[in-house]
Structure 1
Amino acid sequence: MVDKSEQLTLLARIGFAARGAVYVLLGYLALTTAARETVDDGAGDAFAWIADIPGGALVLYLAAAGLVGYALYRLSGALFDIERKGTDPKGIGHRIGYFVSAIVHTAMAWTATKVASGARKSGDDQSSEMAQSVLGFPLGETVLGIAGIALLIAGAFQARNAITASFMKHVSHTAPAATCWIGRAGHAARGVVFALIGWSLLRSAWLERSSEVRSLGGAINDLRDMGPAFSLVAAGLLLFGVFSLILSRYRIIPDPLPARAGLFGKALS
């Protein structure tokens, strides 16, 4: 009988595959679409593309399940330190990043479900609307500013990974030889996009204008006038998708439900 740890590990691998499919499609749409309006919502547009193929709704529901599994995996990293990052400031920073990743991929799963059910269409970018809602709350500008700083930091981590290839310590030695360079290109592209989104959030907080906020697709579109730079970033995002697909098979995944290790490194019974 398959235990819960094995089930979550399987869902995590499906999640890597689902994330990979989204980024491959996102990079492909960016490279092959001339109109700025077509790739506005990033993952939402990729999901809409899937929905248009025969059996697309079923594929999206399966992708949503995989993304939820990936979110649970990242949540385990944040709460139970299954990646063994520790409780020093650097380790806590990593675990906060895992928590944010869990939220992001849960949101992606929700978007996939809405597209599959027909409740959301391509181009329905809700980033500005969500930012406007946040700005309507007390300290909303502060929340957006913190989110922007967090994404800028995440972009810096992505850039560091592109340079050091530290992600390879979590990849099996049996992975394809090109995995390292594919991952480096993908992390570099994500670093650029994360920085653009983070900067847009900071501008939105400073100017108190939700229209400044950029979604993943919007950040990509902002690069379109940069010629070769845009093509490199779009290709990098596609390669990050390929890298994620490789991880779905070769990622070393610790036990998602360890008996020891809590939020602050304390034993759990």
Structure 2
Amino acid sequence: MIDKSEKFSWLVRTGFAARGITYILLGYIALSTRGDAEGGGSAVYDYLQEVPFGTPILWVMSVGLLAYVAFRLMCAISDIQHRGTDFTGILKRIGDAASAVAHLFLAYACFQFATWTRTSTEGDSGGQAMAGSILQYDTGWILILLIGLGFLTGAFMQAKTAVTAHFMHRISRHAPAIVNPIGRIGHLARAAVFLLIGWSMTRGALAGEEDRIRGLGEAILALRDMSYIYVWVAVGLILFGLFSLFTAFYRVIPDFGPEGLKPSFRA
């Protein structure tokens, strides 16, 4: 019988694998089109619709991305990674929450394509559509502003992680040595994208205009006029995707014990 810990582990690993596929395809499409593609991150799922078994793959990725979102929310709310309540720990947990939101947008777009219910709204990952729905409420701009600040915090933490390679603390010692350098480059590229998303959300919230808000794919396309930076970010996201696939295999997953939601780690 598969226990609760093993089910949780498989869900988390599926989430990291789905994240990896998304980032690899996103970087690949950005490089191959050099900014000519429309739809940003949604082009990833549009691309998958055209390959054999594309719809089943989209369903698996939808579930995987939702599992990853749930994992990041648990990291932010329940502190299952034991980040602590000091200043650094709080910043990391805010970054976890921002990551959950970013991948919720991706999961939303992926689900739309899996069910063939994509709307005419052109958003790279469902970001503008979801943000527009939130801004319809009187206090919606406050929530978007907080999410934007969360992305800015996440960008800082991603950049810091790229420098310190702290992500290796949660990777098994059996992982190949290449995981470290590709993880550093990938996190730095992701920091640049998070910075653009956070800035756009902050401006969009203050102006009350969802058209200013960018999701993952649109943040990349915003760099297309800066050729070298655009290519570097696209390559970096491919490497982050590869890092995510390695993480799916070698991540040290929290082990749920009788104490409840907050687990201990196993090597």
1-structure distance, mates of 2:198, 2:176 = 33
Q: CA deviation at 1:217?
A: 1.1
Alignment match, 2:60: 62
Unmatched 5+ stretches in structure 2: none
SS at match of 1:31: helix
SS at match of 2:254: coil
Q: Are 1:53 and 2:48 counterparts?
A: no
Asked if the contact 2:94/2:154 (under 8 Å) is kept, the reply is: no
1:176/1:104 Cα in 2 relative to 1: closer, same or farther (>3 Å)?
Answer: same
Alignment match, 1:260: 259
Asked if the contact 1:48/1:121 (under 8 Å) is kept, the reply is: no
Quick check: 232-241 or 168-177, which moved more?
168-177
SS at match of 1:83: coil
Asked if the contact 2:80/2:261 (under 8 Å) is kept, the reply is: no
Alignment match, 1:156: 156
Which letter does structure 1 place at the counterpart of 2:131?
Answer: A
Asked if the contact 2:152/2:194 (under 8 Å) is kept, the reply is: yes
2-structure distance, mates of 1:96, 1:197 = 15
Which letter does structure 2 place at the counterpart of 1:183?
Answer: G
Alignment match, 1:190: 190
SS at match of 2:245: helix
Q: CA deviation at 1:189?
A: 0.5
SS at match of 2:214: coil
Asked if the contact 2:97/2:150 (under 8 Å) is kept, the reply is: no
Alignment match, 1:236: 236
Which letter does structure 2 place at the counterpart of 1:228?
Answer: Y
SS at match of 2:137: coil
Alignment match, 1:74: 72
SS at match of 1:224: coil
SS at match of 2:122: coil
Asked if the contact 2:98/2:151 (under 8 Å) is kept, the reply is: no
2-structure distance, mates of 1:80, 1:2 = 24
Asked if the contact 2:98/2:154 (under 8 Å) is kept, the reply is: no
Which letter does structure 2 place at the counterpart of 1:49?
Answer: Y
SS at match of 1:252: coil
Alignment match, 1:105: 103
SS at match of 2:40: coil
Quick check: 153-162 or 141-150, which moved more?
141-150
Asked if the contact 1:141/1:205 (under 8 Å) is kept, the reply is: yes
Alignment match, 2:248: 248
Q: Are 1:124 and 2:122 counterparts?
A: yes
Quick check: 13-22 or 203-212, which moved more?
203-212
Alignment match, 1:175: 175
Asked if the contact 1:150/1:198 (under 8 Å) is kept, the reply is: yes
Q: CA deviation at 1:107?
A: 4.3
Residues 17-65 of structure 1 show CA distances to partners (whole Å, capped at 9, x for unaligned) of 11100000000000000353x25331x2212211111111011111222
SS at match of 2:182: helix
Which letter does structure 2 place at the counterpart of 1:77?
Answer: C
Which letter does structure 1 place at the counterpart of 2:67?
Answer: G
SS at match of 2:225: helix
1:39/1:259 Cα in 2 relative to 1: closer, same or farther (>3 Å)?
Answer: farther
1:211/1:189 Cα in 2 relative to 1: closer, same or farther (>3 Å)?
Answer: same
2-structure distance, mates of 1:205, 1:197 = 12
Which letter does structure 1 place at the counterpart of 2:186?
Answer: G
Q: Are 1:24 and 2:24 counterparts?
A: yes
SS at match of 1:66: helix
1-structure distance, mates of 2:176, 2:239 = 14
Q: How many residues align?
A: 261
Unmatched 5+ stretches in structure 1: none
Alignment match, 2:5: 5
Q: CA deviation at 1:113?
A: 2.3
Q: 1:115 aligns with which of 110, 113, 122?
A: 113
2-structure distance, mates of 1:83, 1:127 = 27
Quick check: 188-197 or 99-108, which moved more?
99-108
Asked if the contact 1:203/1:212 (under 8 Å) is kept, the reply is: yes
Q: CA deviation at 1:79?
A: 4.1
Which letter does structure 2 place at the counterpart of 1:61?
Answer: W
Asked if the contact 1:127/1:213 (under 8 Å) is kept, the reply is: yes
TM-score in terms of structure 2 length: 0.88
Asked if the contact 1:13/1:248 (under 8 Å) is kept, the reply is: yes
